Amino acid sequence: MAMLDKFKKKKIQGIDDTEYLTLRDERRISKENAKITREFERNKARKNVPESEYLSEMRDPKNVVEFDDLHTYFYTDIGTVKAVDGVTYDVPQGTTVGIVGESGCGKSVTSLSLMQLVQAPQGQIVSGEIRYLASNGKCYNIAKMPKNEMLHIRGKEIAMIFQEPMTSLNPVFTIGEQMDEVVLLHEEGATAESAKKHSIEMLQLVGIAMPEKVYASYPHELSGGMRQRVMIAMALSCDPRLIIADEPTTALDVTIQAQILDLLRNIKEKINGSIMLITHDLGVIAEMADYVVVMYAGRIIEKGTVREIFHNPKHPYTVGLMRSKPSVNKAVDRLYSIPGQVPNPINMPNHCYFKNRCEKCIGKCDGAYPPMLQFSPTHFAACYLYEEDRDAVFFDALTGKKSE
Q: Percent of the chain beyond pLDDT 70? A: 91
How far is Cα 302 from Cα 379, in angstroms, rounded to an integer?
8
How far is Cα 110 from Cα 298, in angstroms, rounded to an integer?
9
Name the residue with higher pLDDT: 395 or 185.
185
Distances (CA, A) of 201 to 180, 209, 225, 241, 393: 12, 11, 18, 19, 51
> Would you state the pLDDT for residue 273?
84
> Would you state the pLDDT for residue 25?
87
Contacts of 164 (CB under 8 A, 6+ apart): 250, 251
Cis peptide before 316 (omega within 30 of 0): no
8-state DSSP, 274 = E
Please state the rounded mean pLDDT for residues 208-229.
91
Q: At residue 366, does pLDDT exceed 80?
A: yes
Name the residue with higher pLDDT: 351 or 306.
306
> Would you state the pLDDT for residue 11?
42
> Would you state the pLDDT for residue 18?
43
> Would you state the pLDDT for residue 10?
44
145 and 229 Cβ atoms separated by less than 8 Å: no
Q: Which of the four pLDDT bands, split at 50, 70 and 90, describes residue 251?
A: low
227 and 142 Cβ atoms separated by less than 8 Å: no
> Would you state the pLDDT for residue 2?
44
Alpha helices in 236-362 (DSSP H): 254-271, 282-288, 306-311, 316-323
Tens digits of residue pLDDT in 285-343: 988 999 999 999 999 999 999 999 999 999 999 999 988 887 777 777 788 888 888 88
How far is Cα 211 from Cα 226, in angstroms, rounded to an integer?
11
How far is Cα 102 from Cα 235, in angstroms, rounded to an integer?
26
Could you write out the DSSP letters of every residue in 355-369? TTT-TT--GGGGSSP
Quick check: helix, strand or coil at residue 131?
Answer: strand
> Would you state the pLDDT for residue 144?
92
> Would you state the pLDDT for residue 19?
59
Q: Which of the four pLDDT bands, split at 50, 70 and 90, describes residue 89?
A: very high
> Would you state the pLDDT for residue 325?
80
340: left (phi over 0), alpha (psi -120 to 50) or beta: left
> Would you state the pLDDT for residue 335?
81
